[in-house]
Amino acid sequence: MQPLLELRNISKSFPGVQALSKAQFEVREGEVHALLGENGAGKSTMIKLISGLYRPDEGEILLQGQPVVFHNPRDAQAAGVATIYQELSLYPELTVAENIFMGHAPRNRFGMVDWGAMRQRARELLASLNIHDMDVDRKVGTMTVGNRQRVEIAKALSMNARILIMDEPTAALTEADVQQLFEIVRLLRERGVAIIYISHRLEEVFLLADRVTVLRDGQYVGTKPVKETREDELISMMVGRTIHNLFPKLPAQVGEPVLEVENVWRKPDVRGVTLTVRAGEIVGLAGLVGSGRSEFAQVVFGISPADSGTIRVNGKRVEIKSPADALKLGIAYVPEDRGTQGLIRQMNIRENVSLAVLRDIARNTFVNRKAERSLAERMIEQLSIRAYSSDQVVNKLSGGNQQKVVVSKWLASKPRLLIMDEPTRGIDVGAKAEIHRLISELAQQGMAILMISSELPEIMGMSDRILVMRGGTIVAEYSRDRATQEIIAAAMMSEAAPETIVPGNAATFESAAL
Amino acid sequence: MTAVTTEYPSKAKSSSLWKSLRSILASQEAILAITLLALVVLVGAANPRFLAERNMSDVLQGNAYIAVAAIGMSMVIVSGNIDISIGSAIGVLATMCGLIATETELPVIFSWLLPLLGGALIGAINGFFVAYLRIPSIVVTLGMLSILKGGLIVYRGGETIYNLPPDFGLAQLRPLGIPSPVWFMIVLTVLAALWMRYSATGRSIYAVGGNKEAAMLSGINIRSVIMKVFIINGVFAGISAVLYATQFTSIQAVVPPGLELSIITASVVGGVSILGGTGTVIGSTLAAVLLRAIGSSMVFINVSPYWLRAVQGVLILITVLADILRRRQLRRH
């Protein structure tokens, strides 16, 4: 069968970087073809070549066997290529229908926008995706991420897309939205659309894709039918070596409680949370997006202080009104989004790492440069940050190494409690295993760790204890040996089995459910 | 950790040395210094009178008060804010300086020091609105601009202050044969540059301008940093006002037209990113001198000085374009 789109011997370089080198890729009609690789493997470059943002230095792109050149995204669109990026590109102030037909609205015979026809066709398009409950006159900015993504897909179809590129489409979705997205993808596949699917989550590849192509360091590693491969094979293709253990959990001595939270409220998202994290213990906090887990972390770190309830640190009752207060108490917080919350991009590694301890390493108002440099170098060593020196600007590091810089910043403050929100989101498998190893070692050294994650394998692989949040409160608790993916997922989404509900939280859980 | 580490190609020492040399040469400060030097050499060759000591002294001195104000402005812009009331503040503070000298019995030193306090007060008010009431600085300082400018007209009606005491002329002093404004410019620039680069607070200013949220999460008190920046900016406006007021034998009690634009231009052309987070006061001072040198060159090569504004505009566009291109290159790694 002739591929719909084929890339042959494609090379592309940027100043100082060979992003792709003689790589190849193809996708057929009615196929979901997953594109895998660590960060920096060349996936983004390949997508940008297909969608007309870049032109290859070498090699050719064939559409139905015919060589084509995309000079710009418009050419690619005309050829039927549509791309759904991680950051959705919709206009929040415009309606669903206006967004779908942006740039190609139906006109009436006076050359004006035919609003009636536009709404009608928008409804038809959405209906063809089995979406029947969306108001086409609603402003996109008021909708959930999942719904916005559906609008984006409808927009692609309105331009008669034959090739749909989806770049990490599930990164920001809740579980229910993910399910609906999968249904839409399957529907499109049946209709003959060729789908290029990029994701860091291997389980999605196995659920959804027909074939998978792996890139590494800008080079083509191989293509496999999904049915004939296994997770560990794909991982070793991606990293070029065998990862022995993605979740290297070490046994640790669990000690005294470091954080004790009792019935803490912060409306509207945190509704009566009670939990304890002990020294040496890794507590995994699971929950859907919107369950209040990140908001709870922000309460403990003082970003949005608690309305009521008590927080104890090392047995002493405390008031945490700002991140500075939290820092003084030995609490550190690795935020969910390292780009907007973790790093200062213009600064180098050294300056980022010392940021949370500036006052401590500054003597008489001036920063002690020697201490700062040795701190940064120690962290680079301890976390194996790949950089040529501590003076390297963080923007030029890979995602995994950036995350290590953020973690370093917090380790520099020598915390007793480390809160990590999605510690490995969007980073490649190799760096993931390293960060897991680090978390494990920190717990072994007696640090208390509260880890929030959307990835159940990570929660289950790393935690001593697993707490599930829903509706702003803790609804279930499992010990490491009793947890299974199924019961955690069930507790996240709906009524947990009664005996697994933590007794102390039962009352608040019921009131929250009203 | 050893099980999962990959090898990272270690760069050869020489290439990293070349890299750092290249990055120094590509810095805005170096570009400005080289441009300044080239301009002096070229115009000097075309018309040797340009190189006369008297003219060189004017080139250095003429924009010194702008350079001093641009130090504070650069800090404000690095922190992610802007102060468009600075020209009016300097006008008011210069008038204050002259009135203290002529209408009070206070020793002349008070006429030099009280405007600094006045500047700090104006800065504190601006800073309070920006930091604590979270009103965008452009709006706050636009309001402040009108209040100061209008207030000055109502209060003094634009009349000129004469009869300044004989020992009033701070800017006319020449310690070691160098005009005092040049001393102020150089010493303050060096001190401020060191403070910006090596102090904890200076670092915090860059952090707040680079990424407010990350800075806040790192335990930096953003409000206090912004407050400090505006107060310091006010003090520098005060020093600038005193240098401006004491350079002649009379002071016109009006706001010098377009002064805030000249100061912001010095900062921006000096490489302070209008988006916050990067830039140095060395750059802004070099830019202030360069702008004066360009103005002076025009006279010597027979170009109408009315072109100066246009040249300034072109320089702003080039610098901002360069900044944006640099950022783009950073983003794509």
- For every residue of A195-260, DSSP letters joined together read EEEE-S-HHHHHHH-SEEEEEETTEEEEEEEGGG--HHHHHHHHHSS--S-SS-PPP----SEEEE
Out of B3, B11, B200, the one facing A359 most closely (by C-beta) is B200
pLDDT at residue A424 greater than cutoff 90: no
Q: Classify burial at B205, counting beta carbons within 10 Å of its beta carbon; exposed 0-12, middle 13-18, buried 19 or more.
A: buried
- Is some CB atom of chain A closer than 8 A to the CB atom of B133? no
- Which pTM was predicted? 0.74
CATH level 3 topology of B49-331: ABC transporter involved in vitamin B12 uptake, BtuC (1.10.3470)
A208, A239, A270 - which closes a domain: A239
Nearest chain B Cα distance for residue A413, angstroms:
10
The answer to whether A377 touches A390, Cβ cutoff 8 Å, is: yes
Q: Scanning every residue of chain B, which has its alpha carbon at the shortest distance from the alpha carbon of A432?
A: B4
Any CB–CB contact under 8 A between B200 and chain A? yes
pLDDT (0 to 100) of residue B17: 66
* Alpha carbon distance B85, A36 (integer Å): 54
Buried b / exposed e across A215-231, counting CB within 10 Å, b at 16+? bbebbbbebbebeebee
**Residue from the list B1, B211, B219 with its beta carbon closest to the beta carbon of A434:** B1
User: How far is residue B207's CA from residue B79's CA, in Å, rounded to a whole number?
Assistant: 8
pLDDT, tens digit (0-9, with 9 covering 90-100), for A373-396: 999 999 998 888 888 888 888 887
What was the pLDDT predicted at A497? 43
Distance of alpha carbon B232 from the chain centroid? 12
Q: For residue B63, how many C-alpha atoms fall within 13 Å in the half-sphere facing its CB?
A: 27
The dihedrals phi and psi of A259, each to the nearest 5 degrees, come to: -120, 125
User: Cis before residue A268, ω within 30 degrees of 0?
Assistant: yes
Across the interface, whether the CB atoms of B332 and A344 are under 8 A apart is answered no
| CATH number of the domain where residue A317 is located | 3.40.50.300
- Chain B partners within 8 Å of A348 (Cβ): none
Report the alpha-carbon distance of residue A265 to residue A307 in Å, rounded.
6
Distance between CA atoms of residues B223 and B225, nearest Å: 5
- Assign A415 to helix, strand or coil: coil
Chain position carrying tokens 């300034």:
B312
The interface predicted TM-score of the complex, written ipTM, equals 0.79
Taking the C-alpha atoms of residue A239 and residue A433, their distance in angstroms, rounded to an integer, is 11
Helix (H, G, I), strand (E, B), or coil: what is residue B200?
helix
Neighbours of B80 (CB within 10 A): 24
User: Within this chain, do residues A174 and A278 fall inside the same structural domain, yes or no?
Assistant: no
Task: Report helix, strand or coil for A318.
Answer: strand
Q: Quote the CA–CA distance of A147 and A109 in Å, as a whole number.
A: 33
Give yes or no: residues A406 and A433 share one domain.
Answer: no
A93–chain B nearest CA distance, Å: 23
Phi/psi for B100 (5° steps) reads -60, -40
Backbone angle region of A130, left / alpha / beta, with phi > 0 → left and psi within -120 to 50 → alpha: left
Helices (H), chain B: 13-25, 28-46, 53-62, 64-78, 86-103, 108-131, 137-156, 180-198, 200-210, 212-217, 222-245, 259-269, 281-300, 307-331
Whether B5 contacts chain A with CB within 8 A: yes
- Give the pLDDT mean for A155-173: 86
* A323 touches B: beta carbon within 8 Å: yes
Least confident window among A157-171, A272-286, A305-319, B136-150: A157-171
Residue B8 distance to chain A (closest CA, Å): 6
Chain B residues closer than 8 Å to A243 by CB:
3-4
* Residue B133 DSSP class: S
Q: In chain A, how many domains are there?
A: 3
| Nearest Cα residue to A289 out of A473, A492, A99 | A492
- Check whether residue A372 and residue A387 sit in a common domain: yes
Q: Is the pLDDT of residue A353 over 80?
A: yes
Please say which residue of A211, A239, A267 terminates a domain: A239
Residues, chain A: 514
Supply the pLDDT for residue A2. Answer: 83
Distance CA A94, CA A79 (A): 27
Q: Based on the domain organization, do A314 and A350 belong to the same domain?
A: no
Please check the confidence at residue A260 and state whether its pLDDT lies above 60. yes
On whether both A271 and A197 belong to a single domain, the answer is no
pLDDT at A510 over 70: no
Which single residue is written with the structure tokens 């007696």?
A446
Q: Does A384 touch chain B (CB under 8 A)?
A: yes
Task: Give the Cα separation of B208 and B234 in Å (integer).
Answer: 19
Distance between CA atoms of residues B243 and B98, nearest Å: 11
Indicate the range of A352-361, A425-434, B9-18, B185-194 predicted with least confidence: B9-18
| Domain shared by A409 and A420, yes or no | no
Together in a domain, A213 and A309 = no
Q: Hey, which residues does B199 pair with through a beta bridge? A: A366
Of B110, B127, B129, which is closest to residue B72 (Cα–Cα)?
A: B127
Is the same domain home to A221 and A106? yes
Parent domain of A18: 5-239
Last residue of a domain, one of A239, A257, A292: A239
Of the candidates B5, B16, B278, which has its C-beta nearest A384's C-beta?
A: B5
Which tokens in the block code for residue A426? Answer: 């969007």
What residues of B are in contact with residue A393 (Cβ under 8 Å)?
Answer: 330
Cα dist from A123 to A129, A154, A342, B185, B204, whole Å: 10, 10, 41, 67, 51
User: Average pLDDT, stretch A390-408?
Assistant: 85
Instruction: For chain A, report the end-to-end CA distance as a whole number of angstroms.
Output: 56
Same domain, A225 and A307: no
CB B10 to CB A388 under 8 A?
A: yes
Contacts of B76 (CB under 8 A, 6+ apart): B82, B83, B137, B229, B230, B233
Side by side, the strands of the sheet bearing A417-421 are A331-334, A417-421, A448-452, A282-287, A465-470, A473-479
Q: What number of other Cβ atoms are within 10 A of residue B158's Cβ?
A: 10
* Residue B25 confidence (pLDDT): 66
Reading chain B (333 residues) residue by residue, the pLDDT tens digits are 333 333 344 444 445 666 666 666 667 888 889 889 998 999 888 888 888 888 888 899 999 999 999 999 999 999 999 999 999 999 999 999 999 988 888 888 898 999 999 999 999 999 999 999 999 999 999 999 999 988 888 888 778 888 888 888 888 888 888 899 999 999 999 999 999 988 999 999 999 999 998 999 888 999 999 999 999 999 999 999 999 999 888 888 777 788 999 999 999 989 898 888 889 999 999 999 999 998 888 888 888 878 877 888 888 888 878 777 776 765 544
**Is B221 at the interface with chain A, CB within 8 A?**
yes
Same domain, A115 and A234: yes
Partner B contacted by A167 (CB < 8 A) = no
Crossing angle, helix A485-493 and helix A175-190, to 10 degrees? Answer: 100
User: Is A434 an interface residue toward B (CB < 8 Å)?
Assistant: yes
Report domain extents, chain B. 49-331
A499 to chain B, closest Cα gap in Å? 38
Pairing state between β A66-68 and A58-63: antiparallel
Mean pLDDT of A406-430: 88
A346, with CB counted inside 10 A (0-12, 13-18, 19+), is buried
Query: What are the beta bridge partners of residue A430?
Result: none
